[in-house]
Amino acid sequence: MRRILVSIAFILLTASVLAGVSVSKRYRSERNKEREVRKSTEFIVLHTTEAAEKSSLRHVSERGLCHYCVTASGDIYQIIDRHRVAFHAGDSMWNKKEEIDNYSIGIECVGYHDKVMPRKQLNAIRDLVAELQSIYGIPDDKVLTHSQVAFGEKNKWQKHRHRGRKRCGMLFAMPSVRGVLKLESRAAYDPDVKAKRLVVVDKYLNSVLYGSVDTMVKTYGKSTIKKVDPIKSKLQKPVANIQKKGINGEVNSRPATVKFKIIPQTITELNAQGFKVVGTVTKKNLPLNIVGKHWNDKDTYYVIRGRVMPGNIIDPKRFEEGMTIWRKSK
């Protein structure tokens, strides 16, 4: 049987829902199909666009410079599929690992590194980050700012390879802002500076990232967070409910989301969410024969050549022999 797949062009223009937040694919980058699937996901990197909304969205979309972009009004746009590589970190390093693009999800936030962001925007960032953490098991201290991982090469003005080439995303290291984002910890120090792989050039930036400078306290209120040894910190297992006790024993008010609300996009994510293969499509064994009335449920998934498609967008006339059908076992 010839390959007959449902056209997914219309999907790219519609919104999906995660953690109660609408995620639009209106600005999905045309470069998405060129990007490789990321081998591992260990960090979330928060950026500030340093530009207005319209130009920011156009820029990141044209070049595929992040996975998500969050606007001041709290709208979230998916730019590159979250399991693929987005070119957001540039020259980067964290704890000896270089080219952080290969290990991270990048979130661009419309705004500036030293200016207040609306609560609505921070709430959207909080929900997006929380859901991604629950999927990949990323602890709070591995939610980093671009200024933590970026470094610059030698030039005529700067003789050292250095961290914090720019202050992008700097405010996301401040305790008051992390408090709004419900991130309970941050790295206690720069592991690459400690190992003398890189040096501190911007002392003010370093005091924001790892010291006591917090210029957002008057706006967001004081927050106390843990300082974690970045070398000892490890990924966690994905959790079903990401509410947890806060620093002072209070329950963290981060949304208690159901495990894996984001639509799975890879076989690995299907397995992690408890989906199993229940049958394979052939000329004589069609989806209706395999799963009956559930053939077009949103909780039924079809996989062919690594591409994952939810059943509620499959055209019944467009199935392909060899397609596997996945459902959760009861």
Work out the pLDDT band at 301, boundaries 50, 70, 90. Answer: very high
Question: Which pLDDT does position 245 carry in this prediction?
Answer: 34
Q: Does residue 245 belong to any structural domain of this protein?
A: no
Are residues 107 and 28 both part of a single domain? yes
Question: Which pLDDT does position 21 carry in this prediction?
Answer: 56
Q: Does residue 4 belong to any structural domain of this protein?
A: no
Q: Does residue 256 belong to any structural domain of this protein?
A: no
Work out the pLDDT band at 318, boundaries 50, 70, 90. Answer: confident
Residue 17 has pLDDT above 80, yes or no: no
Q: Does residue 258 belong to any structural domain of this protein?
A: no
Count of structural domains within the chain: 2
Work out the pLDDT band at 298, boundaries 50, 70, 90. Answer: confident
Question: Distance of CA 70 to CAs 28, 139, 196, Å?
Answer: 13, 21, 35
Are residues 134 and 48 both part of a single domain? yes
Are residues 166 and 279 both part of a single domain? no
Q: Does residue 234 belong to any structural domain of this protein?
A: no
Region of 45 (left: φ > 0; alpha: ψ -120 to 50; beta: rest) is beta
Q: What is the mean pLDDT of the chain?
A: 85
Q: Does residue 51 belong to any structural domain of this protein?
A: yes
Which of 206, 228, 250 delimits the end of a domain?
228
Work out the pLDDT band at 94, boundaries 50, 70, 90. Answer: very high
- Dist. CA 302–CA 321, nearest whole Å: 11
Are residues 222 and 324 both part of a single domain? no
Q: Percent of the chain having pLDDT more than 90?
A: 66
Domain of 101, in residue numbers? 11-228
Question: Which pLDDT does position 330 carry in this prediction?
Answer: 65
Tens-digit pLDDT profile for residues 254-288: 433 333 346 677 887 788 788 999 999 998 899 98
Are residues 128 and 185 both part of a single domain? yes
DSSP, res 131: H
Residue 112 has pLDDT above 60, yes or no: yes
Tens-digit pLDDT profile for residues 123-137: 999 999 999 999 899
Q: Does residue 254 belong to any structural domain of this protein?
A: no
List phi, psi (to 5°) of 306: 85, -10
**Owner of token pair 């040096």:** 199
CATH code: domain of residue 154: 3.40.80.10
Please report the beta strands in 134-181, taking only residues with DSSP state E, as ranges in sequence order.
143-145, 151-152, 162-163
Are residues 118 and 192 both part of a single domain? yes
Are residues 187 and 58 both part of a single domain? yes
